[in-house]
Structure 1
Amino acid sequence: MSATMNNLVAPATRIWIRLRLNELGPLISLAGFGFFAWAFMELADDVSEGETHALDQSLLLALRDPANLANPLGPGWLEEAARDITGLGGYAVLAIITWATWAYLMMVGKRGAALLVLVSIIGGTLLSHGLKLGFERPRPDLVPHATQVYTASFPSGHAMMSAITYLTLGALLARVEKSRRTRAFVMGLAVAMTLLVGASRVYLGVHWPSDVLAGWSVGAAWASFCWFVALQLQRGGQVEDPGETSSPEAETS
């Protein structure tokens, strides 16, 4: 009798936990959106009033050789590695990653999720361009730039777009994966890539630290919003649940 009860209670407990997580998901995503959006607005206000300038200068100079401001601290290979990492936040690389993710989702039959990926990344790209045009903050002239730049400084486009792309894709892919370990790996990798790209922009002297922090904030806010939308669409059946496909052909191919 005891064994029978345990066999009944264990599945019921798992179902209850899953239902609770499904209820908490939208609340967590909305809370994340609100927090990161508030952080960006506060930072933008401080930057506009010049309150971050002294700290920005101190941090930027701390990463440079005092005898030669053209040289970042560390060996030559570290500077070269920073250039490679910063390229992971470039538009060409992010476009390839987005296309590859879209193609993968289409091939496994998750067409709703594939469409959501495109809308999320394209929307984030337009948001990034709009914010840069709105603030038009000049690039740092305190130290020589270790890589080419072409746009305004605030917020950091590389930091923002890497956050938007990697965090959004991480959240969306995690929603269509059944394995908890796989979901944790995907989100951990997304966060690590976002942080590395943003840090490389400061190390190379092409952004103030506040630019990167702002890019991370608004990018995380957008990713949280996209996560919330994904959860709502999954509930309505427009985006596939883990293990679900949108066409019988994808399941049998």
Structure 2
Amino acid sequence: MKDNAGSLFNRIEFPVLLAGLVIAGGLWGFVELMEVARATAPHGFDTEILLAFRQPGQPGVPIGPSWLEGAMRDITSLGSTSVLALVTTATIIYLLLIRRRGTALLILVAVAGGEVLSSLLKVGVDRPRPELVSHLVNETSLSFPSGHAMLSAVTYLTLGSLAARFLPGRTAKVYVLFLAVLTTVLVGVSRIYLGVHWPSDVLAGWCAGFAWAMLCWLVARLLQWRQAVSDDA
């Protein structure tokens, strides 16, 4: 039993260490960005990046061809509550149908917990939306952290990491995880392009989202490891 437990520990030691580093880095980054959000005046990099997405001297006109604004609206919807709820519900129902209740519960806790955490953080920091440029979509909630960026990270990274476990070959696994990260990044960039978030809001959303997703994955991995040791015993 001890040999089996040691073998299992050696197999998960590096992934667990990596997850711990991601969690620590995400928390550190979020705390640093929270200081930026609470400052009385916008940080220089916030204003410079936000203005970089606008025509010089025209804060109401975004850069790029006319179709790019519509594309960014479509991309940002991938991080909306309705789309993420639809994707999450469909995945949970499928997992229940194939009798993977534990995995379904993990996804529910990760996504629902991320939604609650995002709302609490917004209220705690109480940062208004940027007024430096015009908003290309209507938003009424608080700005920090970006809920779209955070919940995209939580949802797509959780689903991507779970899907990768069932795919054959390293290439397929890397591809799925790459798509999850790419979608998360594009959603965050779209929020800045549309003028509804400061860049620090999006960075903080990514930090919190990555940390929360890794924490949920780490808890699930450790529970799986304990179950495997128990089965061996």
TM over 0.5: yes
Q: Which residue of 2 aligns with 1:13?
A: none
Q: Which residue of 2 aligns with 1:136?
A: 126
Question: Are residues 1:57 and 2:57 paired?
Answer: no
Q: Which residue of 2 aligns with 1:145?
A: 135
Q: Which residue of 2 aligns with 1:105?
A: 95
Q: Which residue of 2 aligns with 1:191?
A: 181
How far residue 65 of structure 1 moved from its aligned partner, in angstroms, is 1.0
Structure 1 unmatched ranges of 5 or more: 1-15, 239-253
Q: Which residue of 2 aligns with 1:244?
A: none
Pick closer, same or farther for the CA change 1:21–1:182 going to 2, 3 Å: farther
How far residue 235 of structure 1 moved from its aligned partner, in angstroms, is 1.4
Pick closer, same or farther for the CA change 1:233–1:75 going to 2, 3 Å: same
The equivalences for 1:190-229 within 5 A come to 190-229=180-219
Pick closer, same or farther for the CA change 1:177–1:103 going to 2, 3 Å: farther
C-alpha distance in 1 between matches for 2:74 and 2:93? 25
Q: Which residue of 2 aligns with 1:11?
A: none
C-alpha distance in 2 between matches for 1:179 and 1:51? 50
C-alpha distance in 2 between matches for 1:118 and 1:179? 27
Total equivalences in the alignment: 223
TM-score, L = length of structure 1: 0.82
Greater RCO, CA 8 A, separation 6+: 2
Query: Quick check: 158-167 or 107-116, which moved more?
Result: 107-116
The equivalences for 1:1-253 within 5 A come to 20-50=10-40, 53-237=43-227
Does the Cα contact within 8 Å between 1:172 and 1:230 map onto a contact in 2? no
Structure 2 unmatched ranges of 5 or more: 1-5, 229-233
TM-score, L = length of structure 2: 0.89
- State the Cα deviation string for residues 17-68 of structure 1 (Å, max 9, x = none): 9874422121111111111111111111233235752221111111101243
Bigger Rg over Cα: 1
Paired residue secondary structure (2:135): coil
Pick closer, same or farther for the CA change 1:114–1:182 going to 2, 3 Å: farther
Aligned CA RMSD, in angstroms, stands at 2.1
